[in-house]
Amino acid sequence: MDDLRLPAEWEQQDAVLLTWPGRTSDWREMLEEIEQVYIELVRHIGARQRLIITSDDVERVAQRLRRSGAASSNISLYACASDDTWARDFGPITVYNGEQAQLHNFTFNGWGGKFPAARDNSITAELARQQAFACPLEHHAMVLEGGSIDSDGHGSVLTTSACLLNPNRNPHLNKEQIEDYLARRLGIKRLLWLDYGYLAGDDTDSHIDTLARFAPDDTIIYTACNDSGDQHYRELRAMERQLRCLRSANGRPYNLLPLPWPQARFDADGQRLPATYANFLVINQAVLVPTYADPADAAALEVIAAAFPTREIIAIDCRTVIRQHGSLHCLTMQLHRGTLP
């Protein structure tokens, strides 16, 4: 267990996993718009590292990429049936045992049974069957989504009690048992629990990747709300106070960088959408940041640039993505160095 380590997202990656939206998916009424977002992701990621793309119609995806000029040798397409496209939560999690990369395939149950998930839950195993990976893959009965944990690469991991302790995930496990299991399987030395913070319209029961994220040098970037009239104000201020009380492994306070609050966005039924700048994706040499054509976009990019001064900061318009109640990080899962052939 002492040799196990859950890497930080900003460590060297082999690839990013995407599941392409299909004609029968929830994206079908906005397929052209969401495919444009995927093409932009492919262009930026493919210029820096490999991509694994799964689809139930790989020939259509290949044609779409060729027509857009985004096709490249860095893209590997795999035929896999899916329920949805949120690869962050059903994709494999990379762990190092010394220098050896391992992949861990936890159970995905549609965020506590809210949505169909059987096909998504099978994607990682299907990729392994098709020999997409070059390292061992371990399967887990425990329910865990990638968006529910965030690692600093040195044994400390942020999470939320609203998600990991929710009885719709692992009702047979208490807090101590969850901590013990993740320590033994992922090498987590300190699980830092946030007991406050949520986003209206979020189906994930407060995934950490919408609220607070590690960055290098004991930094935490977090969603802040200074509008006392906003429904999130009290919860996010309580989360902020809890973040101020956290200490790094060396006993010092974290360097906290608050993100601005985008204007409220709503779906066609008037339900508020969980727009957040914390849902950024770190790739090799760059950080892709969700934006919403909002007055706060520029300030959010500046905050993330301050946390990642050596990387290019790239804005990705996620106004289409947020219509399905997710954002950029949710669509993607990084595969770290040593995971691919």
Instruction: Look at the alpha carbons of 309, 188, 329, 8 in this order and tell me if their dihedral is positive or negative.
Output: positive
Q: What is the pLDDT of residue 7?
A: 98
| C-alpha span between 241 and 294 (Å, rounded) | 27
Whole-number pLDDT of residue 147: 98
Range of the domain at 209: 4-336
Q: Of 261, 256, 227, which Cα lies nearest the Cα of 244?
A: 256
- Confidence bin at 1 (pLDDT 50/70/90): low
Instruction: List C-alpha distances in Å: 128 to 80, 119, 135, 200.
Output: 11, 15, 9, 36
Q: What percent of the chain has pLDDT over 90?
A: 99
Q: Is the pLDDT of residue 181 over 70?
A: yes
How many other C-beta atoms can be found within 10 angstroms of the C-beta atom of residue 298?
11
pLDDT at 160: 98
Distance CA 28, CA 25 (A): 6
| Residue 62 placed within a domain | yes
What per-residue confidence (pLDDT) applies to 228?
Answer: 95
Rounded CA-CA distance 262/289 in Å is 13
Give the helix/strand (H/E) hosting 271: none
* pTM value > 0.95: yes
CA–CA dist 126, 72 (Å, integer)? 23
Q: Is the dihedral of CA 33, 34, 35, 36 positive or negative?
A: positive
Residue 118 falls within a domain, yes or no?
Answer: yes
* CATH, residue 301: 3.75.10.10
311 belongs to a structural domain: yes
Given a contact cutoff of 8 angstroms between Cβ atoms, the answer to whether 194 and 200 are in contact is: no
Q: What is the mean pLDDT of the chain?
A: 97
SS3 66: helix
Count CA within 13 A, CB hemisphere, residue 101. 19
Q: What gap in Å lies between CA 316 and CA 136, rounded to an integer?
A: 33
- N-term to C-term CA, the chain: 26
Instruction: State the total domains in the chain.
Output: 1
- 141-168 residue pLDDT tens: 999 999 999 999 999 999 999 999 999 9
Q: pLDDT grade, residue 205 (50/70/90)? A: very high
Phi, psi angle pair for 271, to nearest 5°: -80, 135
Q: For residue range 244-303, what is the model confidence (pLDDT) as tens digits?
A: 999 999 999 999 999 999 999 999 999 999 999 999 999 999 999 999 999 999 999 999
Report if residue 341 sits inside a domain: no
DSSP letters for 73-129: TTEEEEE---S---HHHHS-EEEEETTEEEEEEEE--HHHHTS--HHHHHHHHHHHH
